[in-house]
Structure 1
Amino acid sequence: MAREKTNQNLPLNAPDYLAWHVTQKGKKSYWNKVGAAWQHKDGRGLTLQLETCPINGRIVLRLPLEDAPENTNDAGRS
């Protein structure tokens, strides 16, 4: 989801940040990945691509973890 091919001969364009939808239920936080963001070449902005658009909670941008497997429901992150 978070990688796109720009040209057959170029490497994949990994995102600079992953976008997470965070909701609270009591003391627990539930994190679901909803998209990714790429920094502009001039460093003055980001392009955010959402795969889904939540209507509640908040969206958090975080650096991707290099060694962690992709998990779409990371309960407990806060």
Structure 2
Amino acid sequence: MAENRKPSHDAFAVSGEGRKSTWTRVGAAWPNEDGKGYNLMIAPGVAVSGKIVLREPRPQSDQESD
């Protein structure tokens, strides 16, 4: 099952536009076995509405510099 593998993408809820936007990591996504979609898992207790963006994970060293 997808949850046993490392996710291919991080899921972010994005509010605002451009440089003033706020990105909050809310979950992760894994490709379906047939390659035609993704399974998106939202973290427990997270209420999400609006724009969701899937991005490939950045290397750990990039994340620490934020």
Q: So what's the TM-score if we normalise by structure 2?
A: 0.72
**Residue equivalent to 1:66:** 59
User: Which structure exhibits the higher relative contact order, with contacts defined as CA atoms closer than 8 Å and separated by 6 or more residues?
Assistant: 2
Identity level (%):
42
- RMSD value over aligned CA atoms? 2.6
Name the count of aligned residue pairs: 61
Q: So what's the TM-score if we normalise by structure 1?
A: 0.63
Larger radius of gyration: 1
Alignment gaps of 5+ in structure 2: none
The structure richer in helix per residue is 2
**Distance in 2 (alpha carbons) for counterparts of 1:37 and 1:26:** 24
Alignment gaps of 5+ in structure 1: 7-12
Q: Which runs of 4+ in 1 moved over 6 A?
A: none
**Distance in 2 (alpha carbons) for counterparts of 1:26 and 1:41:** 34
